[in-house]
């Protein structure tokens, strides 16, 4: 949808003159990155069918904003330019990142875009000095401006995050609510679709699927050991194993989709199943027999899906030790490059059992199966509207698809 300074519908000073339906409430989805946009769609669907509500989108400022315009274009929603969104009053605003949120003049809900709040980031003090590392999303740097807590509600996935928030930003405790984790709920809802996901990824009944997962950044798997994909493909017999890669959208859009495809052309030709950033990645984890990953949220969800995990060493300092990612880093076996990979996968699988990562899974959410109900209740309370009579529930994710480099 084309947006100009003269934006009139569906919001604006004279919008009621032009719209076909007059909405009682307007909700703004602030999409900073493709990753946060994907998480926001877990929220937007809770409002989409309500004829009383108009949902609009805007592209919030972020260094990883590449790809957001294309994402919003595929959604087909009404898109407001950021400079107009910050001048308009909405009944509700929702964000899964923090850039520019101090400019929003509406009740704001913030939620994590990963497996809870798990990433530790460095803080810069005046003069460029680096302070101690804090957990992204739970610190005053993101949540407070000029002594005021910015969000009207902070969505937490687990009761344990209340204690962590109390240590890092106690003034935000009154607006924090334990809601749950939508990805975990959809993971559980998708379990029965495992055969369909495996077919979509080209995994025959007599083969095992190895998912290699990388978050973004120079300390990630792909940042430190991009050659690992070539090594995995060379190590594993193709007649027994299928290898798939899940790369964080910040890799794809930070370097450019064209570039990432170029870097991985030879790997795809050698049999790598490369899941593009616009595809539904969760189905690959449901389909996986093994996960090789780093400290990112995808590896955590892989463990929660029940897959044996081999963790790439040296990245555990990047996660909060009290988070689900921290628990996984403390317990998962490490990948070794001096031993045959097939033997390592076999050993980890042989010792794996359903309760191997029970503590990790339990830390992902303390409200399993209840994100949709809890989140909708929060949103409608803030908008001062009665909820629809239907009971929302998590649905299975669509089948994934693969990218081609030719």
Average pLDDT over residues 367-384: 98
Q: Is residue 52 part of a domain?
A: yes
175 and 269, same domain (yes or no): no
DSSP string, 350-390: HH--TTTTHHHHHHH-SSTT-HHHHHHHHHHHHHT-PPPSS
Strand partners, 94: 29, 109
Q: Is the pLDDT of residue 2 over 50?
A: no
Average pLDDT over residues 114-132: 68
Name the pairing type of β-strands 108-110 and 120-121: unpaired
254 and 120, same domain (yes or no): no
pTM (two decimals): 0.93
Name the pairing type of β-strands 78-80 and 92-95: unpaired
Q: Is residue 391 part of a domain?
A: no
Q: Is residue 138 part of a domain?
A: yes
Q: Is residue 101 part of a domain?
A: yes
pLDDT in tens, 326-359: 999 999 999 999 999 999 999 999 999 988 999 9
Q: Summarize the chain as % helix, strand, coil (round to 5).
A: 40, 15, 45
- pLDDT at residue 127 in the model: 54
Count up the domains in the chain and report the number: 2
136 and 160, same domain (yes or no): yes
pLDDT in tens, 154-167: 999 999 999 999 99
pLDDT in tens, 281-334: 999 999 999 999 999 999 999 999 999 999 998 767 788 999 999 999 999 999
Q: Is residue 24 part of a domain?
A: yes
Mean of the per-residue pLDDT values of the chain: 92
Q: Is residue 341 part of a domain?
A: yes
CATH number at residue 246: 3.40.50.2000
pLDDT in tens, 162-216: 999 999 999 999 999 999 999 999 999 999 999 999 999 999 999 999 999 999 9
232 and 158, same domain (yes or no): no
- pLDDT at residue 123 in the model: 56
83 and 152, same domain (yes or no): yes
166 and 203, same domain (yes or no): no
Long-range contacts of 309-313 (CB under 8 A, 24+ apart): 309/333, 309/348, 309/357, 310/334, 310/335, 310/344, 310/345, 310/348, 311/335, 312/221, 312/224, 312/225, 312/228
215 and 254, same domain (yes or no): yes
259 and 354, same domain (yes or no): yes
118 and 70, same domain (yes or no): yes
Bond into 10 cis (ω within 30):
yes
Which residue is it, tokens 């798990």?
118
Task: Report the percentage of the chain scoring pLDDT > 90.
Answer: 85
212 and 350, same domain (yes or no): yes
251 and 349, same domain (yes or no): yes
Q: Is residue 401 part of a domain?
A: no
- pLDDT at residue 22 in the model: 81
- pLDDT at residue 4 in the model: 44
Q: Is residue 390 part of a domain?
A: no
- pLDDT at residue 131 in the model: 54
Average pLDDT over residues 131-159: 90
- pLDDT at residue 1 in the model: 42
| Residue 134 lies in domain | 15-184+367-383
CATH number at residue 63: 3.40.50
- pLDDT at residue 14 in the model: 72
Q: Is the pLDDT of residue 402 over 50?
A: yes
347 and 377, same domain (yes or no): no
Side-chain half-sphere exposure of 241, counting CA atoms within 13 A: 21
């Amino acid at each position: 949808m084309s947006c100009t300074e003269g934006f009139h519908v569906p919001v604006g000073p004279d919008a009621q003159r032009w719209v076909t339906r007059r909405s009682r409430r307007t909700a703004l989805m602030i999409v900073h990155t493709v990753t946060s946009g994907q998480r926001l769609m877990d929220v937007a669907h809770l409002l989409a069918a309500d004829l009383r509500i108009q949902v609009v989108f805007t592209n919030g400022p972020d260094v990883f904003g590449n790809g957001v315009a294309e994402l919003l274009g595929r959604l087909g929603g009404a898109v407001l330019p950021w400079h107009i969104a910050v001048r308009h009053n909405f009944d509700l605003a929702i964000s899964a990142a923090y850039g520019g949120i101090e400019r929003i003049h509406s009740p704001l809900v913030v939620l994590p875009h990963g497996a809870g709040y798990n990433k530790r980031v460095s803080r810069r003090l005046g003069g460029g000095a680096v302070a101690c590392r804090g957990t992204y999303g739970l610190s005053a740097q993101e949540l407070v401006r000029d002594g005021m807590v910015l969000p009207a509600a902070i969505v937490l996935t687990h009761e344990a995050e209340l204690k962590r928030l109390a240590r890092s930003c106690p003034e935000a405790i009154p607006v924090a609510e334990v809601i749950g984790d939508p990805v975990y709920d959809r993971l559980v809802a998708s379990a029965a679709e495992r055969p369909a996901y495996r077919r979509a990824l080209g995994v025959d009944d007599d083969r095992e699927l190895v998912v290699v997962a990388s978050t973004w950044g120079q300390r990630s798997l792909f940042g430190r050991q991009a050659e690992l994909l070539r090594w995995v493909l060379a190590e594993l017999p193709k007649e027994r194993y299928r290898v798939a890669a899940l790369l964080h959208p910040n890799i794809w859009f930070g370097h450019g989709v064209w570039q990432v495809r170029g870097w991985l052309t030879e790997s795809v030709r050698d049999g790598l199943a490369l899941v593009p950033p616009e595809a539904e990645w969760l189905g690959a984890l449901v389909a996986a027999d093994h996960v090789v990953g780093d400290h990112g949220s995808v590896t955590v969800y892989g463990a929660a899906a029940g897959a044996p995990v081999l963790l790439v060493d040296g990245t555990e300092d990047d996660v909060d030790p009290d988070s689900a990612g921290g628990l996984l880093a403390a317990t998962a076996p490490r990948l070794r490059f001096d031993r045959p990979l097939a033997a390592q996968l076999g050993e980890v699988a042989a010792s794996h059992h359903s309760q191997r990562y029970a503590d990790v899974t339990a830390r992902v959410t303390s409200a399993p199966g209840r994100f949709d109900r809890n989140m909708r209740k929060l949103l409608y309370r803030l908008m001062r509207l009665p909820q629809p009579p239907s009971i929302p529930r998590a649905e299975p994710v669509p089948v994934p698809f693969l990218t081609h480099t030719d």
